[in-house]
Amino acid sequence: MALPTPILLLLTFTVFITASADPDMLQDLCVADLSSGIKINGFPCKDSASVTQSDFFSQGIANPGLTNNTFGSLVTGANVMTIPGLNTLGVSLARIDYAPGGLNPPHTHPRATEIVFVLEGTLDVGFLTTANRLISQSLKKGEVFAFPKGLVHFQKNNGNVPASVIAAFNSQFPGTQSLGATLFGSTPPVPDNILAQAFQTSPGKIKHIKSKFQPKK
Ligand SMILES: *[C@@H]1O[C@H](CO)[C@@H](O)[C@H](O)[C@H]1NC(C)=O
């Protein structure tokens, strides 16, 4: 059965807008001038005469990151902030390392879909839909999993050896909002009575959780 043209157009348009992340580029390259004071969507382009190969290069994710922290994981970005040549290109990478037992806690990337490739070890990963359905998977070396743009997701190393992934994003700077840190570690803080009501618990329990996230004075 053929669909009427208006419905086909609507479907095509919907696929187009939901597949796009960063805006498309209008020139060959636009290496970010990260020190410019001009505020635009992205970064202004530096003078093309001063562009070199180093603007497109990084060794930052060649080696494992240190995972001796609270969550036993570390995300190391390879995005426009470290590879200025990525400005306007709509892609970036990260490397994530996980100690045995390490967790990359629930978080979202407001500007990008993420796809991970397991370099070493095993991981239990998942994301949550807006209907609160958990889509989860166990991964081993060489396997790939995708986390749709904007949805809450996590990765946990339940193995007894370190694990690591390479993550790719369809944004030069995907942004990360970690639920625990954003709700319990913000400045200024979200009032205790708001969090107590939201989580259906007491302000005392909220204070206890906040003490784990707020910067030590
Ligand atoms: C993590 O390990 C590194 C290297 O061994 C060390 O320099 C650093 O102080 C450690 N950090 C913590 C928080 O223990």
pLDDT digits (tens, 9 = 90+) for 181-214: 999 999 999 999 999 999 999 999 999 999 999 7
Q: Do residue 118 and residue 205 come from a single domain? A: no
Return the closest-CA partner of residue 175 out of 125, 114, 89, 130: 114
Q: Do residue 151 and residue 196 come from a single domain? A: no
Counting from 1 in the atom list of ligand 1, the atom nearest the Cα of 68 is 1
Length of the chain equals: 217
Q: Report the number of distinct structural domains present in the chain.
A: 2
Return the closest-CA partner of residue 74 out of 101, 99, 91, 93: 99
109 is in an annotated binding site: yes
**Distance in angstroms (rounded) separating the CA atoms of residues 54 and 85:** 9
Residue from 63, 68, 70 to probe ligand 1 pocket by mutation (most atoms less than 8 Å from CB): 68
Contacts of 94 by beta carbon, 8 Å cutoff, 6+ apart: 61, 75, 76, 77, 78, 79, 166, 167, 169
Q: Do residue 145 and residue 196 come from a single domain? A: no
Position of tokens 């070890």?
121
**Percent of the residues in the chain that have a pLDDT greater than 90, as a whole number:** 88
Arithmetic mean of pLDDT over the chain: 92
Q: Is 3 domain-assigned?
A: no
Q: Is 12 domain-assigned?
A: no
Q: Is 9 domain-assigned?
A: no
Q: Is 24 domain-assigned?
A: no
208 is in an annotated binding site: no
- Ligand 1 cavity residues, CB under 6 Å: 66, 68-69
Residue 91, domain extent: 53-177
143 is in an annotated binding site: no
- H helix or E strand, kind and range, residue 181: helix 179-184
The three-class DSSP label of residue 149 is coil
Residue from 66, 67, 73 to probe ligand 1 pocket by mutation (most atoms less than 8 Å from CB): 66
Higher pLDDT, 214 or 91: 91
Residue 168 backbone dihedrals phi, psi, to 5 degrees: -115, 145
In this predicted model, what pLDDT tens digit does every residue of 61-81 receive, in sequence order? 999 999 999 999 999 999 999
Burial class (CB in 10 A: 0-12, 13-18, 19+), 15: exposed
Q: Is 116 domain-assigned?
A: yes
* Angle ∠(179,39,86) on CA atoms, nearest 5: 70
- Residue with CA closest to ligand 1 atom 12: 68
Report the predicted TM-score, pTM, of the whole model to 2 decimal places: 0.88
Q: Do residue 189 and residue 120 come from a single domain? A: no
DSSP assignment of 36-48 equals ----BSB-PBPPG
153 is in an annotated binding site: yes
The CATH number for 108's domain is 2.60.120.10
Structure tokens at 139: 């991964």
Q: Do residue 71 and residue 167 come from a single domain? A: yes
Q: Do residue 126 and residue 189 come from a single domain? A: no
> pLDDT-based confidence at 59, cuts 50/70/90?
very high
- Residue with CA closest to ligand 1 atom 2: 68
In this predicted model, what pLDDT tens digit does every residue of 119-160 receive, in sequence order? 999 999 999 999 999 999 999 999 999 999 999 999 999 999
